[in-house]
Amino acid sequence: MARVLNNLLLFLIRLALKIRVWGYWSLIYGYCALCTTAALLKLCWNIVLRPTTTFQWGIRETPPACLNDTSLGTHCYVRIKESGLRFHYIAAGERGKPLMLFLHGFPEFWFSWRYQLREFKSEFRVVAVDMRGYGESDLPLSTESYQLDHLVTDVKDIVEYLGYNRCCLVGHDWGGTIAWLFAIHYPEMVTKLIVLNCPHPSVFTDYALRHPSQLLKSSHFFFFQLPRFPELMLSINDFKALKALFTSRSTGIGRKGRWLTAEDLEAYLYALSQPGALTGALNYYRNVFRWGDDSYLISFFFL
């Protein structure tokens, strides 16, 4: 009798977990479907109203002069033995000074830190890295290559390659997420942690699950789960959506006198227009809901 009850209990637990997992993925992909429908309607509306809409990728062949500004630092490359990936970074300041490492977000690259490189190079060895899949760093083809544990390990490998065992870590957006996780996993390697535009992962997850309005504001997380279609939406009409992301008053730099220059904007479009660049950037989002030790959103969903 005890064995029957035990087996029944195990069956009920497994069934409850399966129902919960099924419900979780139904929520994820149901929301993806809603976001896709909205994007398709917007695309069709633009085609009807603007027949000249182009679907060309508009790859930029020549980098703007600002990317070769020597006052920002020296362009360097490192190939990490463990991952086999080559990373590009800009370094300035005297060797031997404390390391300040900058991690950019989406959809950016090392150029986002141009002002900070100039500002802090007198006191630090400043390094702004192109994250994997961005800029001149290698772009792995598989989506799984962008899981959070790989991204955190990248930071550790780069710090050690630079000859340091600790750093002042600065992260923005996705770079902020990785900075949080790096500090959690390797606290002894972080002297100071500065995070911009990215709350602590557990705080964000708890808040998002308790406030549906935040899920609506984070709807791009769900839309970006789709293959290829987000790349299309971001690139059509000569990257109009990306231009708006950087320059609109709601999402871009809208402060009077602080707007991006035409050359600055072209620098971002040059980096993101290269073959596979948008896919590499979007693959960060495509691993958010995957199982894994560092898949914080799904982990906290089941707490």
pLDDT, tens digit (0-9, with 9 covering 90-100), for 239-286: 988 888 888 766 666 556 567 888 999 999 999 999 999 999 999 999
Q: How far apart are the first and last CA of the chain?
A: 32
Q: What's residue 303's pLDDT?
A: 33
Determine the Cα–Cα distance for residues 41 and 38; give it in Å rounded to an integer.
5
Q: Name the CATH superfamily for 65-201.
A: Alpha/Beta hydrolase fold, catalytic domain (3.40.50.1820)
Q: Give pLDDT, residue 103.
A: 98
- By C-alpha distance, which of 137, 186, 131, 180 is closest to 160? 186
**The pLDDT of residue 298:** 42
**pLDDT for position 71:** 92
pLDDT at site 69: 92
State whether residue 129 is helix, strand or coil: strand
The identity of residue 223, as a single letter, is F
- Look at residue 297 in the predicted model and tell me its pLDDT: 45
DSSP designation for 138: -
Phi, psi torsion values for 121, nearest 5 degrees: -70, -15
Claim: this prediction has a pTM higher than 0.95: no
- Residue 51's pLDDT is 53
Q: Return the pLDDT at 205.
A: 80
In which residue ranges of the chain is CATH 3.40.50.1820 found? 65-201
Per-residue pLDDT, 182:
97
Q: What is the CA radius of gyration of the chain?
A: 21
Low-confidence ranges of the chain (pLDDT < 50): 53-56, 293-303
What pLDDT sits at residue 68?
92
What per-residue confidence (pLDDT) applies to 91?
A: 98
- Looking at residue 31, its pLDDT comes to 66
Measured CA to CA in angstroms, residue 145 lies from 182, 252, 283, 291 at distances of 17, 29, 9, 14
